[in-house]
């Protein structure tokens, strides 16, 4: 049995090695860690299924089209359209953009090949097998080993024996110097991405018949590739293959030796890659503290005054009061989910917005908060929120301890590993005793959570519950403002800007990271408890890793440095299902929108909400338009309170007012713009063309000079 498991484990390792080698290739030649590598493999596997199984193409032709045409073309498109613009981008931007690409590609996969439809596959060579060392092995598995060896030799020759490989490695070390020596980094990067995507697709095609053709499972294949690549420290292909062998054998031995009837360990096999990834990350040498780069982000984290903050909080609660008065119970319940998600997203503001620490496990902390609320606040007792904050804060600090020395992609990978570890194993455990305490998770895969019940307030009334959530959000927003205005917030921003400078000035960066992780986890736990109350009952899938990713992306897109980004994320994630209920054709938009919006992050470092606010600032220049908007809002609110205007009539009216009045203000402001030198003075004169005589006279007059002779 040991020999059989070893042979099968080595065959599985070859597939992991193919995926990891493509990941290492793109990183060593472009400097960008591709979080979307697994999603690319998933699309390649489904494209092969479409050609070979659904359309009946011959297997060699289908393989050639996918591996020699579609996958390289996708790699070239990604490099040309996205990655080429990230050459000088900060590492945080690179991380978020590649995660956005993962979410977008996963959405495309669900759109093109719905998960509700079967996608059966069979092994290559008809599943025929051969006996090796008294172990039956299919030719499909043997082909994986042969291809992996060939790829290893081919990549070694490419990187160290060809001019293209030399150009690839030189561009990462010093792009300007490589250009001076005649290298073409853009062409080298395009070649690396084309090969990397082909290897990802090949790994997906080979592993799909062994496991299943599943969107999530194939995308999570990247966790195995992450761990193998990290064993090779993202540089060494031989060590990457060693890491793949370790993972393949661990997976095979887990299948053979972990009892399937043991409810505590039967699902541990699926968490092994995450555990190994976390261990490998901790074993890496301590990285140097980052310094401020010459390509620092243009991000501006505002420091709001208390007057502005209190007015904003009051505005949020006031608007919710008006909305709650006109919404039905069903609509109020849907709107409450927006605030629930916004509360979880708000926990990212001090951690990522102020501190620059990327976390991919916020929904995991939210899941812990939901479990605490379910088991210790069965009737919606407020004290359960305190328990959720304390327990999640402690777990956040515990997780942060081993991850304190990590940053950038390593920190993102460690938090992703923690999320997968909880998703795949811990959340599925039955109840167990830990000393005098009984620890309970998601009983029978689902738990019931009651909404918050405050004394004197009817929590069962949905509109009232909506208002309560808005008040909680406003209070947590004020907490974030207090953090931003404090010395703690200043230290977080300094750490984000340059950890090396902070250490030089004597700031304790380790303690700072620990504190902000604990605070963020506590906030996420409270948000998760309240969000679960809006659902009534929740399962672990509601808080999986792939639920954390859109939350982070939309928070960054909206503006991670303020509560506006969190509210933006809640509106998109919570509002789109409402729109889908009315217009079902928008179903796939819910999967694509977060990813496509996140890809544009590099061009918009301060968030979409800041851009929208700047767009509305023109109303200050045109008081008539501002007054018109306020009057229109008052009329709509009055009609809503009177019951004359409800539902989508009120929605369309509000949206029309928000669009029409700013546009009218822009038109009026443009008409008032100066059209001649006498109206505008010196500032009006352009300097990118020769000045006209009248403009020269205007300049002379403004400077007090004698008029120039003709």
**pLDDT tens, position by position, 504-543:** 778 888 888 899 999 999 999 999 999 998 888 898 888 9
**Nearest one of 218, 305, 279, 266 to 484, comparing CA atoms:** 305
Instruction: Detail the DSSP E strand segments found in 391-494.
Output: 432-434, 437-439, 447-448
What does the pLDDT look like over 366-387, one tens digit per residue?
Answer: 999 999 999 888 788 889 999 9
Helices 91-112/589-599 angle, 10° precision: 160
**Nearest one of 311, 244, 224, 231 to 41, comparing CA atoms:** 224
Distance between CA 338 and CA 329 in Å, rounded? 15
What is the residue whose two structure tokens read 């995926």? Answer: 19
Distance from the Cα of residue 481 to its chain's centroid = 24
Distance between CA 228 and CA 233 in Å, rounded? 9
Instruction: Detail the DSSP E strand segments found in 40-166.
Output: 129-132, 135-138
**Nearest one of 27, 423, 83 to 225, comparing CA atoms:** 27
Distance between CA 472 and CA 246 in Å, rounded? 48
In this predicted structure, what is the pLDDT of residue 710? Answer: 45
Among 74-78, 172-176, 572-576, where is mean pLDDT lowest? 172-176
- What's the Cα-to-Cα distance from 538 to each of 109, 183, 374, 398, 425, rounded to whole Å? 25, 55, 10, 25, 17
Per the CB < 8 A criterion, the answer to whether 476 and 523 are in contact is yes
What is the residue whose two structure tokens read 């939901």? Answer: 370
Q: How confident is the model at residue 175 (pLDDT cuts 50, 70, 90)?
A: low
In this predicted structure, what is the pLDDT of residue 349? Answer: 92
Query: Which residues on adjacent β-strands are paired with residue 537?
Result: 448
Residue 164 makes CB contacts below 8 A (sequence gap 6+) with: 158, 188, 191
Model confidence at 709: pLDDT above 60: no
Model confidence at 341: pLDDT above 60: yes
Q: How confident is the model at residue 295 (pLDDT cuts 50, 70, 90)?
A: very low
In this predicted structure, what is the pLDDT of residue 679? Answer: 47
Q: How confident is the model at residue 120 (pLDDT cuts 50, 70, 90)?
A: confident
In this predicted structure, what is the pLDDT of residue 293? Answer: 44
What does the pLDDT look like over 428-480, one tens digit per residue?
Answer: 888 888 778 788 888 778 888 888 888 878 767 888 989 999 999 999 999 99
Residue 293 makes CB contacts below 8 A (sequence gap 6+) with: 90
Q: How confident is the model at residue 41 (pLDDT cuts 50, 70, 90)?
A: very high
What is the residue whose two structure tokens read 């290298």? Answer: 183
In this predicted structure, what is the pLDDT of residue 586? Answer: 66
In this predicted structure, what is the pLDDT of residue 232? Answer: 82
pTM of the model: 0.83
Q: What is the mean pLDDT of the chain?
A: 82
In this predicted structure, what is the pLDDT of residue 601? Answer: 61
Model confidence at 37: pLDDT above 60: yes
In this predicted structure, what is the pLDDT of residue 392? Answer: 95
Distance between CA 547 and CA 594 in Å, rounded? 11
Model confidence at 286: pLDDT above 60: no
Query: HSE-up of 266 (CA within 13 Å, CB side)?
Result: 7
Of 152 and 687, the structure prediction assigns the larger pLDDT to 152
């Amino acid at each position: 049995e040991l020999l059989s498991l070893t042979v099968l484990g080595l065959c599985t390792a070859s597939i992991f090695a193919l995926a990891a080698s493509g990941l290492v290739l793109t990183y060593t030649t472009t400097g960008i860690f591709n979080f979307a590598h697994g999603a690319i493999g998933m699309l390649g596997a489904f494209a092969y299924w479409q050609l070979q199984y659904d359309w009946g193409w011959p297997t060699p032709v289908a393989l050639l089209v996918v591996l020699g045409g579609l996958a390289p073309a996708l790699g070239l498109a990604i490099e040309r359209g996205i990655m080429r613009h990230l050459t000088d981008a900060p590492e945080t931007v690179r991380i978020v953009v590649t995660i956005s690409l993962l979410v977008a590609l996963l959405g495309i996969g669900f759109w093109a090949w719905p998960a509700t439809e079967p996608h059966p596959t069979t092994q290559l060579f008809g599943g025929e097998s051969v006996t090796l060392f008294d172990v039956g092995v299919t030719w499909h598995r043997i082909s994986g080993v042969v291809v992996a060896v060939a790829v290893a030799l081919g990549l070694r020759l490419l990187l160290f024996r060809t001019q293209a490989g030399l150009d690839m490695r030189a561009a990462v070390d010093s792009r300007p110097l490589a250009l001076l020596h005649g290298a073409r980094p853009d062409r080298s990067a395009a070649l690396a991405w084309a090969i990397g995507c082909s290897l990802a697709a090949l790994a997906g095609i080979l592993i799909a018949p062994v496991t299943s053709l599943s969107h999530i499972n194939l995308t999570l294949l990247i966790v195995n590739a992450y761990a193998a690549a990290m064993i090779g420290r993202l540089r060494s292909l031989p060590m990457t293959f060693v890491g793949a062998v370790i993972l393949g054998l661990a997976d095979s031995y887990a299948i053979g030796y972990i009892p399937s009837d043991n409810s505590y360990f039967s699902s541990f096999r699926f968490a092994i890659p995450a555990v190994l990834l976390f261990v490998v990350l901790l074993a890496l040498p301590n990285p140097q503290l980052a310094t401020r780069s010459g390509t620092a982000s243009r991000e501006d984290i505002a420091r709001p005054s208390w007057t502005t903050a209190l007015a904003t909080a009051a505005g949020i609660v006031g608007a919710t009061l008006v909305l709650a008065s006109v919404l039905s119970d069903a609509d109020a319940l849907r709107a409450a989910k927006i605030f629930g998600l916004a509360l979880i997203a708000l926990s990212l503001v001090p951690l990522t917005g102020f501190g620059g620490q990327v976390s991919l496990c916020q929904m995991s902390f939210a899941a812990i908060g939901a479990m605490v609320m379910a088991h210790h606040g069965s009737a919606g007792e407020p004290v359960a929120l305190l328990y959720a904050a304390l327990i999640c804060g402690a777990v956040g600090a515990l997780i942060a301890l081993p991850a304190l020395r990590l940053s950038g992609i390593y920190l993102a990978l460690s938090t992703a590993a923690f999320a997968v570890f909880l998703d795949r194993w811990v959340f599925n455990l039955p109840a167990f005793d830990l000393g005098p305490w009984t620890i309970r998770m998601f009983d029978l895969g689902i738990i019931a959570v009651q909404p918050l019940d405050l004394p004197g307030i009817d929590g069962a009334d949905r509109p009232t519950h909506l208002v309560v959530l808005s008040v909680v959000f406003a209070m947590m927003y004020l907490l974030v403002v207090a953090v931003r205005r404090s010395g703690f917030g200043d230290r977080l921003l300094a750490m984000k800007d340059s950890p090396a400078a902070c250490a030089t000035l004597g700031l304790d960066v380790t303690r700072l990271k620990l504190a902000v992780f604990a605070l963020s986890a506590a906030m996420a736990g409270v948000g998760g408890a309240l969000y679960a109350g809006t659902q009534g009952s929740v399962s672990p899938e509601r808080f999986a890793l792939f639920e954390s990713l859109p939350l982070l992306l939309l928070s960054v897109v909206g503006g991670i440095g303020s509560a506006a980004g969190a509210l933006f994320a809640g509106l998109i994630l919570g509002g789109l299902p409402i729109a889908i209920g009315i217009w079902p054709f928008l179903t796939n938009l819910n999967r694509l929108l977060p990813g496509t919006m996140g890809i544009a992050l590099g061009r918009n470092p301060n968030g979409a909400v800041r851009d929208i606010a700047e767009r509305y600032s023109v109303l200050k220049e045109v008081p008539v338009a501002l007054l018109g908007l306020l009057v229109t809002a008052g009329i709509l609110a009055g009609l809503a309170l009177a019951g004359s205007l409800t539902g989508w009539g009120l929605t369309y009216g509000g949206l029309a007012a928000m669009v029409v009045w700013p546009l009218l203000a822009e038109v009026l402001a443009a008409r008032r713009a100066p059209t001649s030198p006498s109206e505008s003075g010196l500032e009006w004169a352009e300097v990118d063309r020769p000045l006209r005589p009248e403009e020269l006279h205007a300049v002379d007059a403004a400077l007090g000079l004698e008029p120039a002779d003709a």
